[in-house]
Amino acid sequence: MDPDLRRRLEAVVGAAHVLDDPDTRASYETDWTRRFSGPAACVVRPASAAEVAGVLQICRAAGIAVVPQGGNTGLVGGSVPRAGEAVLSLRRLDAIEDFDEVAGEVTVGAGVTLERLQEHVRAAGWDVGVDLASRASATIGGMVATNAGGVRVIRFGPMRHQLIGIEAVLADGAILRRLPGLLKDNTGYDLPGLLAGSEGTLAVITRVRLRLVPLRPARAVALLGLPSLDAALQVVRAVRRAAPGLEAAEVFFPEGLDLVLRHTHLAPPFPRPYPCYLLLECAGPADPAPALAAALEPVADPAATLLATDRADRDRLWACRERHTEAISAEGIPHKLDVTLPADRLAAFEPAVRARLAAVRPAARPILFGHAGDGNLHVNILGLDPDDDAADGAVLELVASFGGSISAEHGIGIAKKPWLSLTRSPADISAMRAIKRALDPAGILNPGVIFDLEPPAPGVAEPPGRV
């Protein structure tokens, strides 16, 4: 890299934190999926908002774009460089501060992992409202920047709803800082909520204040075998109204459970297979099992219902669902889609997407699972060439025709950009571009993520970046 640029960056973050040898850069240049990768000019590792501001000012003056990066666990290519950008790693911003154990609020550096924060606050009887499988690596900053969801959205909402304060650095180096943690604050535009989910394109998030949720020590998990997804959704609705503290409602199908059983040492949960499986978890201050059992009684077949309250039994039931991702990866390299359907269209979408895939790519092996309470289905597809987008496009077009969203949790990144206009209108995209130009006129923050600053020429669609 340019020695003068290096010298200026080192003056801000220290010589040890401007990295440009290829071996060190490598882990920052390729994402967790190994599907997205690109060359970085360098990796810069600031330790404070002021250092982030200094780095952004230098990069802006030098005309170098910046890719903010947390735990690099994203699935849409939004946290790795595409074309010689500087990677701005936020992992050194790892302080947990001002934990109010009475009110349940905490200020968290962008680089703190979800798991570390969970351990920290659980010791005092609190919990983070969002939980997801990549907790050991995913950072709070990245989770806010992508508005992460996970398995508890049905009860506590996504990261955006946990946010009660933010510190972030704008492209010009100005620092937005409001961290008192106010549950109600109607004083102008909701900048924290706007930055949440903006995937690093509007500002670099450096610290957040989060509201916590009380730890719910008593838990009950039910696993049900059911004749269809429609039947599963009916059970979810019944339980949602009758059982307090429903915080997970996960569905999966025999093709996924077969993969899990084949690649793990788990025993089959039931003596026979069912067309659809539903996992429910209720939690609260007091044992939720009686209310859950009572809610299930009128709607579930006792022979196809397992109820677990102690930890080991609950974990065994959860493993049938949580080990899907690992089992799918052991079987091959999947195409990963993550879609939401309107509540009343989800049941009809499931056979429709299988039929569409069979028509477009007969070799495709779909493995579906997801969050039934949110209409959110993860569509994993094995048996496809990694560079063959035809199935992805066919699925996303089907989602759009059902009135759904092409990305429920993962974001757009660069992976889903070609299909953004399927579910965001020209007026929507134009308004987003106007906001991007207003806050980052030079376009140095994560360029090319979500949309390009200039609309593409008519008829031109850009393929997602690839290794």
Q: Is 189 in the site for its own copies (CB under 8 A)?
A: yes
Q: Which of residues 47-76 bind its own copies (CB under 8 A)?
A: none
Closest separation in Å from C-beta 10 to its own copies: 26
Q: Is 418 in the site for its own copies (CB under 8 A)?
A: no
Q: Which of residues 266-295 bind its own copies (CB under 8 A)?
A: 284-286, 291
Cβ neighbours, 10 Å, residue 370: 26
Contact residue for its own copies among 221, 229, 412, 444 (CB under 8 A): 412
Q: Which of residues 247-266 bind its own copies (CB under 8 A)?
A: none
Contact yes or no for 413/375 (Cβ under 8 A): no
For residue 297 the two structure tokens come to 């009684």
Helix axes 254-263, 324-331, angle to 10 degrees: 80
Contact residue for its own copies among 181, 256, 448, 464 (CB under 8 A): 181
Binding mask 94-113 for its own copies (x = CB under 8 A): ------x-xx-x--------
Q: Is 1 in the site for its own copies (CB under 8 A)?
A: no
Contact residue for its own copies among 6, 120, 178, 466 (CB under 8 A): 178
Distance in Å from the first CA to the final CA of the chain: 23
Rounded to the nearest 10°, the torsion over CA 72, 409, 96, 246 is: -140
Contact yes or no for 20/1 (Cβ under 8 A): yes
Contact residue for its own copies among 425, 457, 458, 459 (CB under 8 A): 425
Alpha-carbon distance of 43 to 443, in angstroms, equals: 19
CB nearer to its own copies: pick between 103 and 363: 103
Identify the three-state secondary structure at position 339.
Answer: strand
> Which residues sit opposite 33 in a β-bridge?
none
Report the residue count for the chain: 467
Closest separation in Å from C-beta 11 to its own copies: 23
Contact yes or no for 174/214 (Cβ under 8 A): no
Closest separation in Å from C-beta 462 to its own copies: 16
Q: Is 408 in the site for its own copies (CB under 8 A)?
A: yes
Q: Which of residues 361-380 bind its own copies (CB under 8 A)?
A: 371, 373-376
Contact yes or no for 55/12 (Cβ under 8 A): yes
Stretch that binds its own copies, among 4-12, 312-320, 429-437, 457-465 (CB under 8 A): 429-437
Q: Is 416 in the site for its own copies (CB under 8 A)?
A: yes
Closest separation in Å from C-beta 266 to its own copies: 28
Closest separation in Å from C-beta 418 to its own copies: 13
Stretch that binds its own copies, among 193-201, 224-232, 259-267, 360-368 (CB under 8 A): 193-201
Cβ neighbors of 296 (< 8 A, separation 6 or more) are 222, 224, 235, 238, 239, 280, 305, 307
Residues in binding contact with its own copies, number by CB under 8 A: 87
Q: Is 240 in the site for its own copies (CB under 8 A)?
A: yes
Closest separation in Å from C-beta 189 to its own copies: 5
Q: Which of residues 209-228 bind its own copies (CB under 8 A)?
A: 214
Q: Residue 205: which H helix or E strand, with range? A: strand 203-211
Closest separation in Å from C-beta 329 to its own copies: 22
Identify the three-state secondary structure at position 232.
Answer: helix
Alpha-carbon distance of 313 to 136, in angstroms, equals: 23
CB nearer to its own copies: pick between 14 and 214: 214
Of 364, 367, 372, give the one whose Cα is nearest residue 347: 372
Closest separation in Å from C-beta 138 to its own copies: 15
* Helix, strand counts (H, E) of the chain: 17, 18
Alpha-carbon distance of 293 to 44, in angstroms, equals: 53
Stretch that binds its own copies, among 4-12, 310-318, 350-358, 400-408 (CB under 8 A): 400-408
Q: Is 151 in the site for its own copies (CB under 8 A)?
A: no
Q: Is 340 in the site for its own copies (CB under 8 A)?
A: yes
Contact residue for its own copies among 158, 200, 256, 418 (CB under 8 A): 158
Q: Which of residues 128-147 bind its own copies (CB under 8 A)?
A: 146-147
Q: Which of residues 435-464 bind its own copies (CB under 8 A)?
A: 435, 437-439, 450-451
In one-letter notation, the amino acid at residue 144 is: V
Alpha-carbon distance of 274 to 284, in angstroms, equals: 30
Cβ neighbors of 374 (< 8 A, separation 6 or more) are 149, 153, 154, 340, 408
Contact residue for its own copies among 31, 131, 250, 409 (CB under 8 A): 409
Alpha-carbon distance of 261 to 256, in angstroms, equals: 9
